[in-house]
Structure 1
C-alpha cells in the first residue's frame, strides 16, 4: 500500500495536469447534503465573524466584499467539513504527501452589485508557510458563471518566485512589502503573454491551485447573484513554519512554532493520518 494520501477524485492524469498547470478544476466533489449544511450555517458564520474579518465596498454600489478566516473554529458545520469532508484527501493526493495539515479556511462573499476585484496574487505570499507542498481549494456555494470566476496564470507556480503580498483594497492597512520580495507582475497589461485558465462552476465543483499560482477574480456586478465561496488551505510533508516581516493573512502564527520546524499545532491541526487518541 502506498504511504501517500490518495483520493477517488484524483486520477494520474489530473495529478500530472496539476503539476504542470498549477490549477485544476474538479467536478462534483462535494455532496449536496454537505453544501446544504454549510449554506445553512452561513448566517451563523457571518454573525459570529472573527476579529480578522473584513468588508470592502464602494459607497455608490449595492454590494460589498466580505471575508473572514478561521471560521472552522467558531461554526461546527465548518469544523465538521474540514475534518470529515473529501478535501483533505484531495489535497494530500495532489501534493503527493504522506500527511495533510489544515492551515486555515477563508470565507469569501462577493454580494451582487459589487465591482470589487480580487487583485493578482499568490496565496503563499501571505502565509507563514515555507515549502512547496501547500495548496488552496476554492469551493463555491453558488453557481459561478465564467465572467465572475477565479482566473489563473497557467504554470506560474513554476516561475520559482515568491512575490510581494498585496492588499485586497486600497484603503486596507495591510503591508506586504517588508520582506523585499518583487512586485507582482502586471498580468492584465500583458494578458496576451500568458495562458489564462478559468472555469464556470456549480455547487459541488471546486478549483484547486498551488500556493504559488498567480490568480485573481473580477467583481460581481450582477445585482441578483451572490458569489459565496469557501476556500480551504492545506499543507503537506515539506511545509515548515516561516517567520516573515510582512503582515500575515490570516494574522495568526500558530502555537509555539519554531522557524524551520513543523507547521502542525492546535491552530493548524493534522487531519491525515488522523491523530490517534491519547
Structure 2
C-alpha cells in the first residue's frame, strides 16, 4: 500500500506526502469532528498570541473530543499507514491537535519540534497533518529534512510574536532554536526545507522530532483549517523533559497523570491511548 521509496523517505527525511489516503466521505467525517472540537474547546486551547499577527486557534488533546477521535481513527486507515511507514507490528493513537487560521491575516507558524515540550522518543512516532482546504506549497507545512535525527532544540515559547526562538525552558539544558526564517531570508540554501502542495484527502506524515513550521495564510489563501492526528508504535519511549518550566516539567502538559507513572526510557504505553492494531 505504501511504496518503498515513501517508507525510506519517511525514515530518512522525517516526513513524506501520502496522496489521496482519505476518501471524501472519510474527510467529511473527520471535518465534522474537527468542527465540533473547534466549537467546544478543551482546557489546552492556545491563546497566548491572540491580538498579534500570529493569532491562531490551536487546541490539543481536548478531553471532550477524545471519544469522538478515538472512534474515528479506529475506523479509518491510519493504523495501516503508520504500521507500513514504521514497520511496526502495533499502532496506538495518541491525540489530536486542531488549527484554525481565517481571514488571510495569520502569519507563519514558528519553527519548532514537538518533542521539545512533549516527553516522546523513539522512531515510531507519526503526525498525520491533514488540511481541509487545497493549499499551494507556499501556504503548506514546511519541514527541515532529516532534522528528526539531528539536534533536539529548546522548545518555542509561542508567547513572543517578535521572537520565534523565545525558549520554552531557557535553562541551557537544550540549545536555543535557530532563527530559521531569518537564515533563509539571508541564504535560501541555509536549510534544506521540504514542503508540498496538498489537497483534501492527502496526508503529510511527519515525525514529531522534525523541525517544522510555516503554513501561514494570505489574501490568496485566506483560510487554513488543519487537523493533526498523532500515532505511535512499538519503538516509542518516554523521555523526561527539563524541570525549569512548570508547564512542561518532566511530564509535558498532556496526560500528566499517565506520564508521571513512566520513567525515562520506558516503553510509551498507557491504557488511556487507543490501541489500533
Tell me the TM-score range normalised by the shorter chain.
Answer: 0.7 to 0.9
After superposition, the Cα gap between the structure-2 partners of 1:240 and 1:179, relative to the gap in structure 1 and judged at 3 Å, is farther
Deviation at 1:175, TM superposition (A): 3.2
Tell me what 1:120 maps to. 111
After superposition, the Cα gap between the structure-2 partners of 1:142 and 1:56, relative to the gap in structure 1 and judged at 3 Å, is farther
Counting only pairs closer than 5 Å after superposition, residues 1-278 of structure 1 correspond to structure 2 as 8=1, 10-55=2-47, 59=51, 64-71=55-62, 74=65, 77-159=68-150, 161-170=151-160, 175-178=168-171, 180-191=173-184, 192-222=189-219, 225-244=222-241, 245=243, 246=245, 247-248=247-248, 250-253=253-256, 255=258, 257-259=261-263, 260-272=265-277
Distance 2:23 2:215 in 1: 27
Unaligned runs of 5+ in 2: none
Unaligned runs of 5+ in 1: 1-7, 273-278
The answer to whether the 8 Å contact 1:157/1:212 transfers is yes
Distance 1:77 1:267 in 2: 14
Figure out how many residues of one structure are paired with residues of the other and give that number. 262
RMSD: 2.7
Which runs of at least 4 in structure 1 moved beyond 6 Å after TM superposition?
Answer: 171-174
The answer to whether the 8 Å contact 2:91/2:276 transfers is yes
Deviation at 1:178, TM superposition (A): 4.7
TM-score by length of structure 2 reads 0.83
Which deviations, in whole Å up to 9, do the C-alpha atoms of 1:191-219 show, x marking residues without a partner?
32222111111100010112221111142
Which deviations, in whole Å up to 9, do the C-alpha atoms of 1:14-65 show, x marking residues without a partner?
111222221101110012111112223344212221000123656487x941
